[in-house]
Amino acid sequence: MGRRRPPVVHGLLVVDKPAGVTSHDVVGMARRRLGERRIGHAGTLDPDATGVLLVGVGWVTRLMRYLQGMDKDYVAQVVLGVRTDTLDSSGKVVATCDPSGVDGDAVRAAAARLTGEIDQVPPMVSALKVDGRRLHELAREGVEVERAPRRVTVSRFDVQPTGDPAVWDIAVTVSSGTYVRSLADDLGQLLGVGAHLRALRRTRVGPFRVGEAAPPDAAELLPAAAALRGMARIEGGDADVAAARNGRTLPRPVGDGPWALVDASGALVAVYEADGDRARPEVVLAEPVA
């Protein structure tokens, strides 16, 4: 008799990523633990950063696009007076300045200027691709290229003093695609002394908070439908499930979408997106997944 194939695993891991490993490393840990190859993550964290990393397993990898664009909370520290080539504590020091003349009012005013909709230039150490090459790959080769600024939203930028006048605790709420290390650098530039980021920790991604996260080897595998926790739902009958299976549209529900179609048992069947006065099935799972 041949070897039995292990059961297919589907679900979502809310991981508290430790420092010193990459987001891809976390995916590898999950593959070894669960015996499932189809695993991916949403929203990369730098190796030195910690906190919430959403990891999709099995068919949930097809849903990760809906987790990529959610806003996020971070806490970190900004060190004034020292700039690095990576804008964080992992890089080489490229400039120093005495920050003793900077007072709290100036720091708070600079943070206020960086709150709201702002244009942000992606750092050279980011994973963003330019002409097919990731920026951090070019940076390692000593190549710097022009990067177009991108509009991001900083909904909150709180600053608090620490026991060291050159170090400030920060807490930010930002839109997807915002680089917190760039916010630290921008803060230092506005203050005229330079700065870099350290101890970055992501505490929330959309409705997923660090309090429910766990280390990679202990994170609970949540049901597939949990991946769409914040999404409006359509509770479908047999006819609706059949329509999704055959790629047919449904009358558009209330709201802008997307909508998660679940069957009578609450298992996820498909994700619908708006298409005029109808809703079309954008992602259809091969079978309902609880």
Catalytic site residue 46? yes
And the tokens for 138? 């070019």
Distance in angstroms (rounded) separating the CA atoms of residues 157 and 170: 7
Residues of 65-103 as b/e, b for ≥16 C-beta within 10 angstroms? ebbeebebbbbbbbbbbbbbbbbbbbeeeeeebebeebe
Q: How far is C-alpha 121 from the chain's CA centre?
A: 18
And the tokens for 107? 């720091």
Which positions ≥6 away from 254 have C-beta within 8 Å? none
Name the nearest CA neighbour of 54 among 179, 285, 270, 219: 219
C-alpha pair distances (Å), 155 with each of 41, 101, 114, 203, 271: 24, 28, 10, 15, 28
Catalytic residue among 16, 46, 73, 185: 46
278-289, strands of its sheet edge to edge: 232-235, 259-262, 268-275, 278-289, 250-251
Q: Is 112 helix (H, G, I), strand (E, B) or coil?
A: helix
Which positions ≥6 away from 100 have C-beta within 8 Å? 165, 166
Report, as residue numbers or ranges, the catalytic residues: 46
